[in-house]
Each structure stands twice: as structure tokens, then as C-alpha cells.
């Protein structure tokens, strides 16, 4: 998947580069209809063993921790085991059993991108975190 050919992905990067995340209140902020939006959330971080592996089909996730560091369990979707919650097309999410095989981390303002072929288990760490989750439509047609 060539992200640089996805106009919504490029639009998200422009939004981020323009500093438009600063001051956004928690909630959903529409940028380009259902093609591109950002959710600002406040979460309680958890242990890797408690973070659920998820994948999306319709959207690419761009996750940006805002108030502190966050770690993410990651692994190829093809390497995931048994499905724990089947795909929900309305929420564009499917969950897998098991624990991620790799851990990646981002500092505040760091950007992690999860395409549909990468399973990710977000929210790993200690304490509370404010973060932005961009939902970028996979098809830019």
C-alpha cells in the first residue's frame, strides 16, 4: 500500500503539520466527511497482556500520543491467531486473541501508522494519556 498516493493520508499529514491538533477538545473532529477524521481521546494505559490486538479494513489509523508516551503491541495481521470478536463493519474493527509479538513506542507528538495488514494493540503503558487517532479511508478514489 503506497500511502503517498492516498489523498486522505496526505491531508492528515498536512493537518498535523499545520499544528491543528493543538487545543482540540476530546471527541470526533471531522476533516473530510467519512474519508478523514480525528478522535481525541483520554485513556487509561494498560499492560501489554491486557491490550487487545485489533485490525481495520476500511481505515488506516494514525495514532499520536499527546500528553505522554504510549507503547503499542504490533504484529502482522497474517500472523494473528484466533479471532476473538468478528469483524464489525459499522465500527470497522476485528479483535484477535493473544498478545502481540513486538512492542513499539512513541513519545508525545510521535506518529505511528497502522495499515489494515498490521494488527495493533494500543494503549500500553502506565497512567493516563491524551491521544489523537486519525481515521484515514483506505481508498482515496
Q: What is the CATH number of the domain that holds 64?
A: 2.60.120.370
Overall domain count for the chain: 1
> φ, ψ for residue 131 (rounded to 5)?
-145, 165
- pLDDT score recorded for residue 139: 81
pLDDT in tens, 99-114: 999 999 999 999 999 9
* pLDDT tens, position by position, 67-105: 999 999 999 999 999 999 999 999 999 999 999 999 999
Q: Is 50 left (phi over 0), alpha (psi -120 to 50) or beta?
A: alpha
Q: Give me the domain span that covers residue 99.
A: 3-137
Q: What is the pTM of this model?
A: 0.93
d(CA 106, CA 3): 20
Banded model confidence at residue 140, pLDDT cuts 50, 70, 90: low
What's the gap between Cα 127 and its chain centre?
Answer: 19
Amino acid at each position: 500500500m503506497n500511502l503517498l498516493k492516498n489523498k486522505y493520508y496526505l491531508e492528515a499529514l498536512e493537518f498535523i503539520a499545520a499544528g491543528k491538533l493543538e487545543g482540540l477538545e476530546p471527541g470526533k473532529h471531522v476533516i473530510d466527511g467519512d474519508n478523514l477524521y480525528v478522535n481525541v481521546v483520554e485513556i487509561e494505559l494498560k499492560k501489554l497482556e491486557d491490550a487487545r490486538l485489533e485490525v481495520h479494513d476500511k481505515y488506516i489509523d494514525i495514532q499520536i500520543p499527546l500528553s505522554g508516551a504510549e507503547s503499542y503491541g504490533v504484529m502482522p495481521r497474517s500472523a494473528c491467531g484466533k479471532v476473538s470478536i468478528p469483524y464489525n463493519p459499522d465500527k470497522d474493527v476485528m479483535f484477535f486473541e493473544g498478545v502481540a509479538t513486538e512492542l513499539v513506542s512513541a513519545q508525545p507528538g510521535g506518529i505511528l501508522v497502522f495499515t489494515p495488514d498490521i494488527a495493533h494493540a494500543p494503549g500500553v503503558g502506565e497512567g493516563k494519556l491524551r491521544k489523537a487517532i486519525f481515521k484515514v479511508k483506505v481508498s482515496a478514489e
